[in-house]
Structure 1
Amino acid sequence: MASISAESVEKPTQSVKPLSTTISWAILLLLALGVMISNIDRSTMSSAIAAKSFTSYFALSSIGKGWLNSAFFWSYGLFHLLCGYLVDRYGVKWPYAVCFGVWCLATAASGLMDTLAGLVVMRLIIGAAESMAIPASFRWVRNNFSEEHSGVATGIIAAGNKFGPAIGAPVAIWLIENYSWRDMFIASGVVGLVWLIPWIMAVRNDFPGKEARAEQKREASSVPISNLLASPVVWGSMVVMFCYSYFTFFCMQWMPDYLHNQRGLSLEDSGLFTFFSFAGIATVAILAGWAADRLIARGANAVRTRKAFTIAGYVGASTILLGARTESLDLALFWNIFSLTCLGLTTANQVALVRITLIPKPAVGMVTGMQQFATSFAGGVAGALTGWLLQISNNDYDLPMLTIFAFLVLGATTTLFVLRPEWSPKISEMA
């Protein structure tokens, strides 16, 4: 057996007519909207636990809120490898459509639960179904966009990821304040189902026939799991995705609570400042992805360019520690928004680097699934660990913020020293 790297030229695997540029970008926007809806649905819990009507109904302590926040991520992580496997072999359209419908219905059903156990079960179902969204989205991007456009494409997907909590937090809080937490869950789930109409009508059926499935199975087998496990890039990508995601999921799960209960903002104002933070990272993600794409199109090295943006984002995000240490509310709010916004420099470029630039096409779904396992693990850890740190520190956020800082340093260091082209997973061929 011989091996070739991810940078080698890959042969096209589909004989179907390529999509037009207009249709490709339109479907990309639809994918971003789907990711946004998934993040609205998962972030509804962070708004609920900041509301006294919800926490008193279920008698939640800080640790209880942490475990409820993290329940979603345990099933979300476990099912990512399966979903990556499925989209590599069976296409994107129908597996995604089925999972989308399941998580929307489970979100709506959350509003009907009367026990904590029932609510946890719904969160586990939502997590399992939403684990399809990212592998499906990035598999589609890998099939339909070149390296010169992958930064913007991933930036748009990532923007959907961040606009979810940006929009979801203030809207969810408004629904809770004006109606109830039950109505909030039901509305979030039912409204999301509308997305399925354009998805089913507009997206080409890519479920392969018997011969195509055999070809895709052969192609996927060209990067065996042993090659993935032997690649430092694969392991390094899981580390950086964990470090990046720990901060973003902390903000998604705990920022409304932090701003409301420690900084003294009203519940509605905490939702508004959560919006500013996530809108900032989403906007910068698109701009940074576009800027890196332009540099690469002009001849800059793709790996070095995306690594530079990624590390700069981690450095800027580390200013979160300044917000935690200041007594001034205005400065705390500024550093809160600034640090998460700076992480947008990392968002699209890190994803493009570890899911497209350094990964061979046949393994994108599987590697994305592995990375999403690390991402979801970060969400579970951020929820549970933060709850525990708050419990032992009398609800002081200094320790949780210091933990974020440590992971940001680890992410920047791993990006610099481990994400190297020569350590990418290899494609095996018959000698």
Structure 2
Amino acid sequence: MKNRVHWIILILVFVATGLNFLDRQVLSITIIKIQKEFNLNDVQYGMINTSFLISYALMFTIGGRLTELYGGKIGLGFSVLIWSVASGLHGVIGSFYQLLFFRFLLGIGEGGCFPGAAKTVSELFDQKDRALANGIAIGGSAMGAVLAPPLTILISNQFGWRWSFIIPGIIGIVWVITWVMIPWKSRKGEIERVTPVKKEKVFSFIEILSNKAALIFILIRFLLDPVFYFIMFWIPKYLNEKRGVSFDEIGHLLWIPFLALGLSNMLGGWISDRLTKNGVSVNKARKIVMGIAALLTVSAIMVQSVSSVALAITLMSLLLFAHGFWITNYITAISDMFGARGTSTVIGLSGTAGAISGLVINPFIGWIVQHYSYNPLWIICGLLYPLAFIILTVFIPKISLIKEVNRSLTI
């Protein structure tokens, strides 16, 4: 990471992923007010989340593929522009159906964010620094989630909930202008034109979908993403309805788990890179950190049984801390294996799988919450990561770069 411009670009990616999570989390906080104003029930709220996840699922793959072909600058830039406009439009909604549509539009933009971020890191950073760079890049998402509760509540109380959507949208458009103006440089420090990437032939969808490792990465995301969507979409309501936390108090508490996530994104990347620099293989380094993460998530089972809000927040923080370790090394492992020829596509496909899983399960979560309780959901949160780690170690015995491919793309 010798080139100073790479740091500037990485900081901008950090800001972009921060805006990504801030924009999507505003609704999970303001829904407390929106539900009362528009008389929405929990099932309708589940449908709104599903609308976002449908377009998010589609654009994770489509955006990932376009980013693979046209590079990180175009891919990420267009994504931020679309979701920033969509975020601003949330501020003018007048009905349930308008919210449903603007949420769908938000998903179209946000779906391309993380494939674009991963592609940018893959283009600019060597393997020895890639985990830390990925940790910083996606760590912005947690910082956005940290800022979302207090910032949303502050803006809502001062100017009304509608401005909680409009202001981040304006900031996103300013980001796009900055992103377009900055010169784009390769690892060698040469300024590249913003054109389709043709240096190496990218893997086709058929090649990737014929690969065992790619399918396992996709399966793992399918299993785990609903856990994170549950945290993102339902925890403010959980704290309000089941723990008696007021709207204003949520802003003082909800940032804590996401701060833990942001720190662990970067710490998990740093530990992984430090291990490789000390002679540990890439395979072992990524899996050691992911194994630790899987063990830590088991603590989520206890959320349902603790009596105090403070202990519940602590356990949620531990769950997201573990998730940060996991997701940074998960994304880096994909980059380690598929390089510049397939990273965005595999991340896009896996993100689509996770979003599909989330959109199918989200209305069901609403039904469980409305008719039963949150308790079964916490048990599931504590069991899925260990299951995913077992699948990873059994079916991907070695994480290493795929250099030569045939039709089956076996590893």
TM-score, normalised relative to structure 1: 0.87
Name the structure 1 match of 2:287.
307
Name the structure 1 match of 2:7.
25
The answer to whether structure 1 residue 410 and structure 2 residue 392 are counterparts is no
Bigger shift: 372-381 or 103-112?
372-381
Letter in 1 for 2:405: S
SS at match of 2:147: helix
Equivalent of residue 367 in structure 2, options 369, 388, 393: 388
Distance 2:362 2:401 in 1: 32
The answer to whether structure 1 residue 130 and structure 2 residue 107 are counterparts is no
Name the structure 2 match of 1:400.
377
Name the structure 2 match of 1:5.
none
Q: CA deviation at 1:124?
A: 0.7
Q: CA deviation at 1:292?
A: 1.1
Q: CA deviation at 1:279?
A: 0.5
SS at match of 2:335: helix
Whether the aligned pair in 1 keeps the contact of 2:38 and 2:95 (CA below 8 Å) is yes
SS at match of 2:280: coil
Bigger shift: 228-237 or 341-350?
341-350
Name the structure 2 match of 1:166.
146
Q: CA deviation at 1:107?
A: 0.8
Q: CA deviation at 1:70?
A: 2.7
Cα distance, 1:145–1:91 mapped onto 2, change above 3 Å = same
Name the structure 1 match of 2:267.
287
Cα distance, 1:340–1:106 mapped onto 2, change above 3 Å = same
Cα distance, 1:318–1:169 mapped onto 2, change above 3 Å = same
Letter in 2 for 1:58: F
Q: CA deviation at 1:226?
A: 2.7
Bigger shift: 138-147 or 384-393?
384-393
Name the structure 2 match of 1:335.
315
Alignment of 1:243-392 (within 5 A): 243-353=223-333, 355-381=334-360, 383-392=362-371
For structure 1, which runs of at least 5 residues remain unmatched after alignment? 1-18
The answer to whether structure 1 residue 419 and structure 2 residue 396 are counterparts is yes
Distance 1:103 1:408 in 2: 30
SS at match of 2:405: strand
Distance 2:210 2:179 in 1: 37
Provide Cα deviations, 1:332-351, integer angstroms capped at 9, x if missing partner: 22212222223222131121
Distance 1:329 1:81 in 2: 39
Aligned residues: 401
Whether the aligned pair in 1 keeps the contact of 2:21 and 2:145 (CA below 8 Å) is yes
Larger RCO, structure (CA 8 Å, separation 6 or more): 1
Cα distance, 1:93–1:342 mapped onto 2, change above 3 Å = closer
Q: CA deviation at 1:160?
A: 0.8
Letter in 2 for 1:47: I
SS at match of 1:60: coil
Distance 2:252 2:357 in 1: 25
Distance 1:244 1:163 in 2: 21
Provide Cα deviations, 1:247-303, integer angstroms capped at 9, x if missing partner: 222111111111111111122222322200011011012112111101101210111
Letter in 1 for 2:28: S
Cα distance, 1:173–1:414 mapped onto 2, change above 3 Å = farther
The answer to whether structure 1 residue 149 and structure 2 residue 129 are counterparts is yes
Whether the aligned pair in 1 keeps the contact of 2:117 and 2:138 (CA below 8 Å) is no
Letter in 1 for 2:178: P
Name the structure 2 match of 1:16.
none
Bigger shift: 128-137 or 265-274?
265-274
Whether the aligned pair in 2 keeps the contact of 1:311 and 1:416 (CA below 8 Å) is no
Name the structure 2 match of 1:85.
65
Equivalent of residue 19 in structure 2, options 32, 37, 46: 37
Letter in 2 for 1:342: A
Cα distance, 1:181–1:278 mapped onto 2, change above 3 Å = same
Distance 2:102 2:386 in 1: 35
Distance 1:378 1:156 in 2: 27
Question: What percent identity do the matched residue pairs reach?
Answer: 22
Equivalent of residue 92 in structure 2, options 112, 128, 137: 112
Cα distance, 1:421–1:64 mapped onto 2, change above 3 Å = same
Letter in 2 for 1:323: V
Whether the aligned pair in 2 keeps the contact of 1:285 and 1:345 (CA below 8 Å) is yes
SS at match of 1:343: helix
Letter in 2 for 1:419: I
Whether the aligned pair in 2 keeps the contact of 1:110 and 1:185 (CA below 8 Å) is yes
Q: CA deviation at 1:68?
A: 1.4
Distance 2:278 2:22 in 1: 37
Cα distance, 1:327–1:232 mapped onto 2, change above 3 Å = same
Whether the aligned pair in 2 keeps the contact of 1:106 and 1:189 (CA below 8 Å) is yes
SS at match of 2:8: helix
Whether the aligned pair in 2 keeps the contact of 1:107 and 1:185 (CA below 8 Å) is yes
Name the structure 2 match of 1:3.
none
Whether the aligned pair in 2 keeps the contact of 1:303 and 1:357 (CA below 8 Å) is no
Distance 2:171 2:400 in 1: 44
Q: CA deviation at 1:381?
A: 4.1
Whether the aligned pair in 2 keeps the contact of 1:93 and 1:206 (CA below 8 Å) is no
Provide Cα deviations, 1:3-50, integer angstroms capped at 9, x if missing partner: xxxxxxxxxxxxxxxx9521112211111111111111111111122x
For structure 2, which runs of at least 5 residues remain unmatched after alignment? 185-190
Whether the aligned pair in 2 keeps the contact of 1:230 and 1:425 (CA below 8 Å) is no
Q: CA deviation at 1:314?
A: 1.8
SS at match of 1:326: coil
Distance 2:44 2:192 in 1: 43
Aligned-residue CA RMSD (Å): 2.2
